[in-house]
Amino acid sequence: MSVAGLRRAARETVSGLPREFWWLWTSTLVNRLGAFVATFMALYLTIDRGYSASYAGLVAALHGLGGVVSSLGAGVMTDRFGRRPTLLVAQTSTALSVALLGFVRDPVAIAAVAFLVGMASNASRPAVQAMMADIVQPEDRVRAFSLNYWAINLGFAISSMAAGFIAEVSYLAGFMIEAGMTLVCAVLVFVKLPESRPPQSAGTGGPGDKEAAVSLLTVLRDGRYMGVVGLSFLIALIFQQAYVGLPVAMGEAGFTPADFGMAIAVNGVLIVVLQIPVTRFIQHRDPRLLLIGSSLLAGYGFGLTAFAGSVGVFALTVCVWTLAEIVNAPTQTGLVVRLSPVHGRGRYQGMYTMSWAVAALVAPLMSGFVIDHWGAEWLWGVCAVVGTVAAAGYWGLMRGLPDDDGTPVAREASGAPAPDAPRADADAGAV
């Protein structure tokens, strides 16, 4: 493609999105540029503070548990109090708790504050996704989610490289920089982002009152949506192996941490380079085919790791499942929005966020058990099987999917009401 063609493609990719989206996108980028703590937390605890690897693993697990706990609560806050207040509370709390984590020294206190950091940092996700769905037109959502995902990975790639240099100078500086940049995000939200929650009807709590009709029980009763959440968990379980199963397997095979770093770096580079052009290719394609294909690519991409014997081959397998990640992330997020009622987006996004948080807890336990008892080859075989199961699940669950313009169609597979329809089956006073 010529330079002029590339410029035209870039303009088409970013054009037509509202100003509010770009402020939200900027907030995401700033937040990820300052995400240092997750990168060097294990090194900080084991090298700087002198704790054991087991204790560092416990702290990481508590951080993940905090994310699980906050997912549903943040979803309820997003619907009940608004997207903007939830973002402000989550980002301010994250900034304060991260700063506090840099100063505590007692092991119990470190573990407790890490749990709070996990809660606070994860609480913003349902609000961000709900706000993005509110302000972007349905036909532009896949493109918007792709751009947001690109910002996340670009910011994380830069912060990961910077984290090593900052840690050599001062771990405390890393904590304070992350706290400061997260506080900047809160200021951006406060100054530039108006509340986007759709106006509530003057209902009385009856069946036609959408706000009263959507509760956490509604989400749990929505068979099709909970099926998508379950499939999201399976996909997340596969992708988590990049950071839990893959380094362990490479280490046991005699590869160095630097070798792992070289292989996994391919993931970030490909996402930054390919996310936008791939988005242009997929944004008007059948989401069911995209999710089926990406599930198979993810499962068998990791499955191919069983045959890797060099850093180059490991990097090649990373290329395969990274392509799956690039396709799956915006498509699945768009599907979540399409299956969510307007006045229940926070709760629905919270349940979706929880599927990834739970996967982050389960994946280390699964990979460790399988590798210890049967070997890494079995782990990669399990990934291939899980990817196949997820692909079959998407094929079955997405029959009768609503059109891109939001027009509801039959949902015979689950028996749940169509998106944006009144949810009369929910308890009016539920959370």
Burial of 290 (0-12, 13-18, 19+ CB in 10 A): buried
212/416 Cα distance (integer angstroms): 17
**DSSP-derived secondary structure letter, 285:** S
321/314 Cα distance (integer angstroms): 11
Tell me, yes or no, if the two domains 20-194 and 212-417 fold the same way: yes
Tens of pLDDT, residue by residue, the chain (431 residues): 555 655 665 666 677 889 999 999 998 888 888 777 776 777 788 778 888 867 877 887 888 888 888 888 888 899 888 999 999 999 999 999 999 999 999 999 999 999 999 899 888 888 888 899 899 988 888 888 888 888 888 887 787 777 777 877 888 988 999 999 999 999 988 888 888 888 765 444 443 344 446 788 888 888 889 999 999 999 999 998 887 788 878 888 888 877 887 888 888 889 888 888 887 788 778 889 999 999 999 999 999 999 998 999 999 999 999 999 999 988 998 888 888 888 888 889 889 988 988 888 888 778 888 888 888 899 999 999 999 999 999 999 887 665 544 444 333 333 333 333 333 333 333 33
Beta-carbon contacts of 188 under 8 Å, excluding residues fewer than 6 positions away, are 23, 26, 27, 30
> How many other CB atoms are found less than 10 A from the CB of residue 4?
8
Q: What Å distances lie between residue 408 and 74, 111, 333, 341, CA to CA?
A: 27, 46, 18, 11
Domain ranges for the chain: 20-194, 212-417
Phi/psi of residue 270, nearest 5 degrees = -65, -40
139/429 Cα distance (integer angstroms): 34
- Tokens 């169509």 found at: 418
> How many other CB atoms are found less than 10 A from the CB of residue 165?
9
Contact 203, 212 (CB under 8 A): yes
Q: What CATH architecture applies to the domain 20-194?
A: Up-down Bundle (1.20)
Residue 408's identity, in one-letter code, is P
Q: What CATH architecture applies to the domain 212-417?
A: Up-down Bundle (1.20)
353/356 Cα distance (integer angstroms): 6
Structure tokens at 292: 């089926």
Q: What are the DSSP calls for 138-159, one per residue?
A: GGGHHHHHHHHHHHHHHHHHHH
- Tokens 């349905």 found at: 138
251/245 Cα distance (integer angstroms): 10
